Amino acid sequence: MIFSDFLKAVMQLSDQRFRRVLWLGIALSIALLFGCYATLLWLVDMLDPGSLEIPGIGPVTWLGDLLSWGSLFLMLFLSMFLMIPVASAITSLFLDDVAQAVEDEHYPHLPVPPRIGWGDALRDTVNFLGILIGANVLAIFVYVLFPFLSLFIFFALNGFLLGQEYFQIAAMRREGRQRAKEMRRAHRGTIWVAGCLMALPLAIPLVNLLVPVLGAATFTHLYHRLSA
């Protein structure tokens, strides 16, 4: 049944509202990563490595280039782990549009629910972003310590986080925050499995950028199926 929910989401990718949220999430995520890189370069410049001198040798001018190139490779490395959490968190600001598009297509008999306030959506997004980035940064150290378990940990961790967040978003629109949490606890196993399904495309470049939109759509179907 979870695969059925996922396939329904895939079949609706051509929806204009899906594409709008997808491009907004990608654009804002790239802008945020560039901002982080600019901040890192500024910190490198603050170190003023060009002023370093070694007695008998003179000023070491290549150290600044090394740090700058090193910072670039560091950001590229971190972006592999953080791009999707950032995209997922930012896109969650607009996932109400995806859920509404799904309901218009598959559940047209339902009344339009009240939109979540911008302040509440922003608060949830900031919380989700912090949890996702924090968990994935900590997971990098676990990957190094247990490389043979890294793939399993990656999918299990992100499947759990994505499942919790996307089901909360889908259910909260019609059930309210507290009732959505109760449903999430009652169906935690199913939600985790569905989240792991969403985490599978994370390992595929470019395809992984579809995860936020597909996740919101899939969990909207999942919510309606579980609440029936």
Q: What is the pLDDT of residues 42-83, one digit of tens each?
A: 776 666 555 545 455 555 455 555 555 565 666 666 555 556
**Which whole-number Å values give the CA distances from 31 to 38, 77, 90, 225, in the listed order?**
10, 17, 11, 37
Q: Which domain holds residue 108?
A: 2-23+82-227
Pairing of strands 58-59, 53-54: antiparallel
**Amino acid identity, position 160:** F
The count of structural domains within the chain is 1
Over the stretch 6-37, which tens digit does the pLDDT of each residue have? Answer: 889 888 888 888 888 888 877 777 777 777 76
Counting every residue written for the chain, the total comes to: 228
The pTM (predicted TM-score) of the whole model is 0.73
Q: Exposed, middle or buried: residue 8 (CB in 10 Å: 0-12, 13-18, 19+)?
A: middle
> Which of 75, 1, 77 is CA-nearest to residue 36?
75
In a domain, 218, yes or no: yes
In a domain, 87, yes or no: yes
In a domain, 107, yes or no: yes
